[in-house]
Homo-oligomer: A and B are copies of this chain.
Amino acid sequence: MKIAIAGAGALGSRFGFMLQQAGNDVTLIDGWKDHVEAIRRNGLNVTINDKTFNVKIPTKYPSEVTADMKMDLIIVFTKSMQLDDMLQNIQAIITDQTSILCLLNGIGHEDIIEKYASKQNIFLGNTMWTASLVGPGHTQSFGDGSISLQNLVDGHASEAKYLAACLSEAGLNAEYTDNIHYSIYRKACVNGTMNGLCTLLDADMAAVGATRMAHKIVTTIVNEFAAVAKHENIDLDTNEIIEHVESCYDPKTIGHHYPSMHQDLIKNHRYTEIDYINGAISRKGQKYGIATPYCDFLTELIHCKEDIVLKNDPVIN
């Protein structure tokens, strides 16, 4: 299959590597100069557990894609706020036959993708794979993960199943689900609590979880997500989800981990994805007439923190 990874950061690069190893014709597309140039010069380095691979893999800037590169599948894996620009730049390679699989964290990305592709070609997914960048051109990851995915509109389950099979053939443990919106909301509840709170409080998940107020705050935020989801006929099991969020506190597993938003803003001085997590719930709440004050305030506070951090310090890569 001819596959483009649009947004080839840590996880996108890893997926590209695995899909190429399985025999697909893979192109990475990314806008980060140091990363693209490193891959072009030295190949892509992929460390999985203790083993490092070095592979040649075609890597393009979004501005370099041309109509003749038409793709069977584009996996979009940008930061949320880069999605629209990325799709606009690579429009030429999106045809009527191109499937688009969205694996971004957060809520409501399909609204953006629909501007560039017909709904029937859009697939939404959720991944439990993780990876981090050692530096430009070098992605690192530990352990295994999985993907669940579904067609956006009814009547295209067979294409979704076919996609899942292709990804699984590359070792990505992909599975068709008939309930992707539930999974996306469930994951967004983790991001919508841990990301904002750890960033604002400059603390890891175990430290946030150990505070007197963590349970009350998590409960309130998850209930706001649930009220919005309910309006879309998705009935979140809030008790199970709160328990799932609180399992992140465990210092013996991932409790001492800082969520990606903390890394983005506090460590790397980049804007956050808050508008696509809590901010998305706020916008939907406003549209549906549902009050979401904790999501509103958390979104606003993270924007304050962005302004304060980014005003004093330039972006660090």
Contacts and interface: CB of A to CB of B under 8 A. Distances in A.
Interface residues of A, number: 28
Contacts of A293: 291, 293-294, 297
B297 A211 contact: no
B212 A307 contact: yes
A213 B301 contact: yes
A210 B210 CA distance: 32
A197 B311 CA distance: 17
A170 interface: no
Given A201-B301, A293-B297, A308 B217 contact: no
A207 interface: yes
Interface in A248-301: 291, 293-294, 297-298, 300-301
B203 A308 contact: yes
Contacts of A216: 300
Contacts of A212: 303-304, 307
A213 B308 contact: no
A133 interface: no
Contact of A217 (B197, B200, B297, B307): B297
A307 B208 CA distance: 9
A214 interface: yes
Contacts of A208: 304, 308
A305 interface: yes
B200 A307 contact: no
A200 B308 CA distance: 12
B211 A303 contact: yes
A297 to B, nearest CB: 5
Interface in A188-216: 197, 200-203, 207-208, 210-214, 216
Contacts of A297: 217, 220, 293-294, 297-298
A311 B201 contact: no
Contacts of A213: 300-301, 303-304, 307
Contacts of A291: 291, 293
A203 B307 CA distance: 11
Contact of A300 (B217, B300, B304, B307): B217
A299 to B, nearest CB: 8
28 contacts: A197-B304, A200-B201, A201-B301, A201-B305, A201-B308, A203-B308, A207-B308, A207-B311, A210-B307, A210-B311, A211-B303, A211-B307, A212-B303, A212-B304, A212-B307, A213-B300, A213-B301, A213-B303, A213-B304, A214-B304, A216-B300, A217-B297, A217-B300, A217-B301, A293-B293, A294-B297, A297-B297, A297-B298
Give 5 closest A-B pairs by Cβ, nearest first.
A293-B293, A213-B300, A211-B307, A211-B304, A203-B308
